[in-house]
Structure 1
């Protein structure tokens, strides 16, 4: 009998749609704060904490920062 490979590592289930929406909302609030406080990102510490606790760790970090920078550049190009 061939054993099936696990699709997800133990303890790392994919977030549900509701969990993804909570994560994206926290991310958007954090990014909005960063955009409004370009000179002092320390104003966004609570929102960063909320973002980090609402999202899987794999979704936070370099990829998040690069996506935010890309979004800022797109917004500037549209304006």
Structure 2
């Protein structure tokens, strides 16, 4: 475990990250008090593959939601201009 003051840690940040990648813990202090600890991140779970069926079901849900919405009474660009011009 290595201990660095804030200013020194700032100047050596890239080097400290390399040491952390190698498994070392780094402690950062300010005025002699510990304020942070840098440790190697835990491995993340690999992303799960999404089945084609799940994608198709999600798209069908989106289609149903879109169809349940009332039709717009004006194009989006006109609506945004109107909001902008009114100062809303």
Relative to the length of structure 2, the TM-score reads 0.27
Q: Which structure has the higher relative contact order (CA within 8 Å, separation 6+)?
A: 1
Relative to the length of structure 1, the TM-score reads 0.30
Greater Rg by CA: 2
Which structure's residues are more often strand, by fraction? 2
Which structure's residues are more often helix, by fraction? 1
